[in-house]
Amino acid sequence: MHYANLRPYIAPLIGSSPLTVVNTHSHWDHFGGNRDLQSLPNVRFYGYQPDGRYEPFPQYPRYSVDALFDGEEESVHSELAIGKRRVTALKIPGHTEDSIALYDAREQLLFTSDTVCPCLLFIEDWSAYLQSAALLKRFVAENPVKWLLGGHLEMSRPKADNRQHEYFYFGSNSHRDEHALQLPLSYLALAEREVKRVLADADDQGPRYDARRIDKPFHDVPMVPVPFPGIPSYYRDDANRLVDILRQRHASDER
């Protein structure tokens, strides 16, 4: 979970053509590369607006995708022209309040980012997540979609001996025999079912992250990790390690 400088790969491909950068949500591992692209000609950002500095946790309005939806809070769908293709943006709050999905009709691909991916599902708003899951299920029922594409790949293929998946910890340098990124549409229902199970098992106060709260710049909410179907549930107990590494890396970046 980090970001890389994509400019050496993107610049030769686009030449002087316009570049549109769309971030799926306001987490640093999804917008961190924006600053490396800001000096390219004809670049437009939807999401994080870099200004030469790097803010791991930008505050609003430093991060906003409102322009995608013409500033209309009630709007759920939006059409975006990227070259000769049109991409549909969908508001899917839950992982974060500003999460969006992107649908490429030409390739029939639905980018679900961190809302559905073969990884730990970190959830900020449980009710919103379930509403977004229902929205995505309706969308794939009404539109041709070949695959779901998530924003992370943190688990292996099933092991031959026990059919379990190995979880690749945050900061892993290798993903041996990793799971395919593309997911069948049935995984929408699987993710929704797992989230509902966690909710059903929680007490009256709802699911909690070991009674701890993630750093204030990280929206100051309990983001409970839900193992994606196939990841043994005991990995949830190790999630503190993920946040500890995140804190250490954040502190290192500030120095």
Task: Return the pLDDT at 179.
Answer: 82
Task: Return the pLDDT at 198.
Answer: 79
DSSP 156: B
Let me know if residue 90 belongs to a domain.
yes
Q: Alpha-carbon distance 93 to 123, whole Å?
A: 9
Residue 240 is part of which domain span? 71-254
CB atoms within 10 A of CB 169: 13
CB atoms within 10 A of CB 136: 25
Digit-by-digit pLDDT tens for the chain (255 residues) are 567 788 999 999 888 888 989 999 988 788 888 888 888 888 988 888 776 665 655 554 467 888 888 766 666 888 888 777 889 999 999 988 899 999 999 999 999 999 998 877 888 888 999 999 999 999 999 999 999 999 888 778 877 776 777 777 666 777 888 888 889 999 899 889 888 887 887 766 666 543 233 333 333 334 555 666 665 554 444 445 555 555 555 555 555
Written as six digits, the tokens of 72 are 């209309």
Task: Return the pLDDT at 246.
Answer: 52
Closest CA relative to residue 124, chosen from 89, 156, 96:
96
DSSP 102: E
φ, ψ dihedrals at 7, nearest 5° = -55, -45
Let me know if residue 175 belongs to a domain.
yes
Read off the CATH number of the domain in which 213 is found.
3.60.15
Closest CA relative to residue 182, chosen from 109, 133, 119, 129:
109
Let me know if residue 43 belongs to a domain.
no
Q: Which residues contact 44 (CB under 8 A, 6 or more apart)?
A: 18, 19, 20, 21
Task: Return the pLDDT at 232.
Answer: 54
Closest CA relative to residue 219, chosen from 100, 97, 65, 109:
97
Q: Alpha-carbon distance 40 to 25, whole Å?
A: 22
Let me know if residue 51 belongs to a domain.
no
Identify the three-state secondary structure at position 205: coil
Let me know if residue 40 belongs to a domain.
no
Let me know if residue 64 belongs to a domain.
no
Q: Which long-range contacts (CB under 8 A, 24 or more apart) does 176-181 make?
A: 178/153, 179/118, 179/153, 179/155, 179/230, 180/118, 181/118, 181/149, 181/150, 181/153
Q: Are the C-beta atoms of residues 153 and 224 closer than 8 Å to each other?
A: no
Q: Alpha-carbon distance 104 to 99, whole Å?
A: 17
Let me know if residue 48 belongs to a domain.
no
Judge if pTM exceeds 0.75: yes
Tokens 């769309």 sit on residue: 22
Number of domains in the chain: 1
Let me know if residue 109 belongs to a domain.
yes
Task: Return the pLDDT at 1.
Answer: 55
